[in-house]
Amino acid sequence: MASREHLSRLSEGTASWNLWRREQGVVHPDLEGADLQGCDLRDADLSGARLSGAVLRHADLGGADLRGADLSDADLSGARLSKSTIDINTRYDAIQGCDIGVNGFYSAATDSAALMRLDPPGNSMQGSNAEAVIESLRQARKLHTFSLLLAGIGLLFIVIKPKSITLPYLAGSFKFDDLSYAFLAALLSTGLLSLVSTFIDSALQGARYLNDRRSAMTVGHFPWVLSKYEQDPAVRRESKILRFFLSFHPMVYLYFFVKWDSLFPGDWAGVISHYRMLPVFLGEWLLPVFFVMLLRLCLKIFRLSEGFQKPILFDTVTERERRTDMERLAHAVEAQASEIAALTALLRREKSS
């Protein structure tokens, strides 16, 4: 239940509330489950406040500081959110009346959004940089494509069943049978997907600090299935299935280390005998370790790709003001250029006379 003292302080107005917050220092206001419907909370300092289950329908939260606030299960239907700020400690997963995005939450009723604060912690290298996000996604896509190519060659072994395959390298070529190729490919995929998960995680963390229309469009339309946001519900399921297979493609290498003609009939003695026939260092040490690592990496990449299945938000009011500022700047530059041109013409006339 909400604290009566805190509710009383809040009812005195934003200015009084903010003054009280500054005087109190570190305090976490308890407004849990409070009925704040239609309240004017513009520029209110609600950092660290417990607002879980609070009713904030049609409340004006414009410019409010929501860093570290707990908004879980809060109802923000019709709330105004323009210029309000959150951070990585703000809880809003189960929020009602708003759409959840990568970098905040958005109220369709008021066309406004609460976005991640632009200045990250001092010990962080993150920030609002769409180009850095795109570069991380580009590197992740390139490495992931190479891992897919290795899995594709593995599929050729399964379908065509050649006795061996020759792969070129700088000074000649290597010849592999199916088992040695599967082991090498699993080893390479482990390293490649480790880098892929690092790059895509960096891209997702960086995307949280984007807050303008151009950045949202640039990153949102990056042509990679694992990071592309699918807004159309009709293709969302197909996209998830495709992302699942693209994430777990290294599992194809399991085929080469299992004796399927013994496994399907339930001949466990034959399965164990086949496993024991593998080299000791491969069957008992390296193989289990690699596949556990691969499975964890695949699961991590799939979860990261799910993180991109949320829109990157921007606030319409902020965008409108930003555009207006740019128009004012352009007008000022044009006026300055006209004055410089007039002054130059005057100097030329004086010089010629």
- Please write the tens of the pLDDT for every residue from 30-73: 999 999 999 999 999 999 999 999 999 999 999 999 999 999 99
What is the per-residue pLDDT for 118? 67
Give the pLDDT confidence of 65-97 residue by residue, as tens digits: 999 999 999 999 999 999 999 998 999 988 999
- Identify the CATH assignment for 1-117 out of 2.102.10.10, 2.160.20.80, 2.60.40.10, 3.40.1190.20: 2.160.20.80
- Given this model, what pLDDT does residue 248 score? 96
pLDDT at 268: 58
Percent of the chain with pLDDT over 90: 48
pLDDT value, residue 266:
63
- Torsion angles phi and psi, residue 350, rounded to 5: -65, -35
| Pairing mode, strands 165-169 and 104-107 | unpaired
Question: What pLDDT shows up at residue 56?
Answer: 95
pLDDT confidence bin for 159, thresholds 50/70/90? confident
**334 Cβ partners below 8 Å, 6+ apart?**
none
Question: Model confidence at 196, in pLDDT bands (50, 70, 90)?
Answer: very high
Categorize the per-residue pLDDT at 327 as very low, low, confident or very high, splitting at 50, 70 and 90: low
Q: How distant, in Å, are the alpha carbons of 35, 41, 190, 216, 319 from that of 213?
A: 34, 26, 37, 5, 7
Close Cβ partners of 202 (under 8 Å, ≥ 6 residues apart): 136
Residue 283: predicted pLDDT:
52
Distance, in Å, from the CA atom of 201 to the CA atom of 353, rounded to the nearest integer, reads: 68
Across the chain, mean pLDDT equals 84
User: Of 131-140, 313-322, 342-351, which one has max mean pLDDT?
Assistant: 131-140
- 168 DSSP β-pair partners: 173
In this prediction, residue 302 carries a pLDDT of: 96
| Phi, psi torsion values for 258, nearest 5 degrees | -120, 135
pLDDT digits (tens, 9 = 90+) for 227-285: 988 888 888 889 999 999 999 999 998 887 766 555 556 665 665 666 666 665 555 56
What single letter denotes the amino acid at residue 139? Q
**CA pseudo-torsion sign 144, 147, 151, 152:** positive
What residue type is assigned to position 243 of the chain?
A: R
Which residues are CB-neighbours of 344 under 8 A, at least 6 positions away?
A: none
- pTM of the entire predicted model: 0.79
CA 69 to chain centre: 21
- Give the separation between CA 106 and CA 81, rounded to whole angstroms: 8
For residue 170, pLDDT over 60 is answered with no
